[in-house]
Every structure is written in structure tokens, then in C-alpha cells.
Amino acid sequence: MKKLYTALLTSFDKEGYINEKGLREIIRFNIDVNQVDGLYVGGSTGENFLLDTASKKLIFKIAFEETNGAVDLIAQVGSNDLHEAVELAKYVTDLGYKTISAVTPYYYKFDFEEVKNYYNTILAGVETDMIIYSIPFLTGVSLSVDQFAELFENEKIKGVKFTAADFYLLERMRTRFPDKLIYAGFDEMLLPALSLGVDGAIGSTFNVNAKRARATMEAVEKRDLDQAFLEQSKSNDLIEAILANGLYNTIKIILQEEGVDAGYCKEPMKKPSVEQIERAKEIYRTLV
Ligand code: NAY
């Protein structure tokens, strides 16, 4: 059965500090209402790359406590500070997480040996599974099939979160690594990714659109491509509107309309304008 993971948002107060009650409500909503199979904690959607170590740890701890084994968890521990990544990997493992993930190191033009050393160093001290977080459009780091093969030589690396629109690469990966897990990372391209045999998806919009994404998956399982197209097309009406209005702010406002205290984004991300809030509410009324 293919898995649907929500990329977990973080609820912040106006000053940019974690709103624990709100974070717990987002988690509960994903378990109880969205009924997803798991949560991807500490990813882009969680605004992780804006946070200090203590805040990252707090989010991992709250997510672990609040889910209490009800759904799978993946902890994204990657960081350009490799010491921090190692520390977070140990921290989440001690909490009880069974799977970690790490974004490819970014900003500097690391060569492949450096990337490989980064993953092996994170994994050296822990006994968890690893899902590589590949998101070239934000990191500027693209890995080839051969480079993935070299990373996968470390048997703890079980797969990849593939946030890219390169379907040729995705097909080559699926064919070359039938036993590795590949999770689609672009919600608006879930259907083409499913058609190439991904094992599931991890996405931000599943915070508010999980049922439709699940319907797309089920239609593909049944080989009902007309239905799958219809579901994806409805999802994309929503995703297009969300992206045009500001991704994380709009998802948070939609959650607020659902009664979830999703809070604010953290600076340097902007607070939503009055117009953005009104548009997000309209999106909720008409497209969710
Ligand atoms: C993450 O780490 O939270 C993710 O990468 C989840 C995947 C999302 N990517 C980003 C950068 O937010 O769900 C996608 C994405 O928001 C969605 O497809 C809209 O483009």
C-alpha cells in the first residue's frame, strides 16, 4: 500500500516562537481528520531551516509525543552544520524515531565525495533508516542515478524523497532501484509520479488536501486513470491557488478555518496581508 505523509507545518506565534498547542493541533488534525499514514517532521514545510537546534528538538519531541505511535514519523535532521545533523540524528533516535531524513548539503558547491561523507557521517552514530531529501530547486544540488547508487551502498539509506519534476530521472531510479523507497515530493505532480511507481508521497498541501491525494492514489491502484486525472486536476486547482497566494501562509489560514491553531510563519517569512487572508478564506470555501 502506498503511503501518504504530510510534511508537517510548524505553528509559530507572532514573534516567531513555537506555539506548542497549535503544533499539537496540526498533528492531531493530520492524524484524526486527514488520516495520513505519517508525518515528515522538520522539513521545508516546517520552516526548519529558519530554526535553532533547541527549536528543532522541541518540534521532534512534540511530534513524537503527540503521535504516540499512531502514524509513521520521519525526522528531517539534515543541516549544513554537520555537527548539528549528527546531534539531531542521535536526539531523534533516542526519542524513538525509526527513520530519519537529511537534505543534501547546500549553498556551497559541495562535490559528491563531500555529499557522500555527509550522509555516512550522520548515519555512523545511529541505527535508523535514512531517506535522502533531494530537492534540487531549493538546494541547487542534483544527484545522478549513479551517485544515488553510490549513496545507497550504505544499507541504512533506504530511499529518497524526490522533490523534482525530472520524470526521466524518476523512471531511471525506479528501474535501477526497485527495492528502494521513492517518495514523490511535488503534490501537484503526484499522478505522474505514481504512474512511474513511487512508493508514496510527502507533501505540504496534504495538511489540507489529504483526502483528494489519497483518492488519486486509490484510483491509480485501480488503474482508473480517468478518475485519477479528475482527482489530480481538482487538487491542482487548489494547489495553483495556494501557490499564487503564498504557500505556507495560505495553508495555515485554511487550517485556521478548520479550527486548527496553525499560527504564523516565522520571519523572514512575511505575515499575511488582509487581502491574502481574505483570498485564503475564499480558497477554503471554494476549492478545499
Ligand atoms: C518539505 O520538506 O516539507 C517538503 O519538501 C514537502 C514537499 C513540498 N515542498 C516544499 C518546498 O514545500 O509539498 C511540496 C510543495 O509544497 C507542494 O508540492 C507545492 O509546490
Catalytic residue chosen out of the listed positions 56, 161, 180, 266? 161
For ligand 1, is residue 163 a contact (CB within 6 Å)?
Answer: yes
Calculate how far, in angstroms, residue 175's C-alpha sits from the geometric centre of ligand 1: 24
CA of 188 to the centre of ligand 1 (A): 10
pLDDT of 44-98, one tens digit each?
999 999 999 999 999 999 999 999 999 999 999 999 999 999 999 999 999 999 9
pLDDT tens by residue, 162-218: 999 999 999 999 999 999 999 999 999 999 999 999 999 999 999 999 999 999 999
- Over residues 96-109, the pLDDT tens digits come to 999 999 999 999 99
Which protein residue's CA is at the shortest distance from atom 13 of ligand 1?
A: 203
Residue 1 is predicted with a pLDDT of 84
Query: For residue 45, which atom of ligand 1 is closest to its CA?
Result: 3
**The model scores a pTM over 0.90:** yes
Find the mean pLDDT for residues 10-28.
98
- Provide the percentage of residues in the chain whose pLDDT is more than 70: 100
DSSP the chain: --EEEEE----B-TTS-B-HHHHHHHHHIIIIIS--SEEEESSTTTTGGG--HHHHHHHHHHHHHHHTTSSEEEEE---SSHHHHHHHHHHHHHHT--EEEEEPP-SS---HHHHHHHHHHHHHT---EEEEEE-HHHH-----HHHHHHHTTSTTEEEEEE----HHHHHHHHHH-TTSEEEE--GGGHHHHHHTT-SEEEESTHHHHHHHHHHHHHHHHTT-HHHHHHHHHHHHHHHHHHHHH-HHHHHHHHHHHTT----BPPTTSPPPPHHHHHHHHHHHHHH-
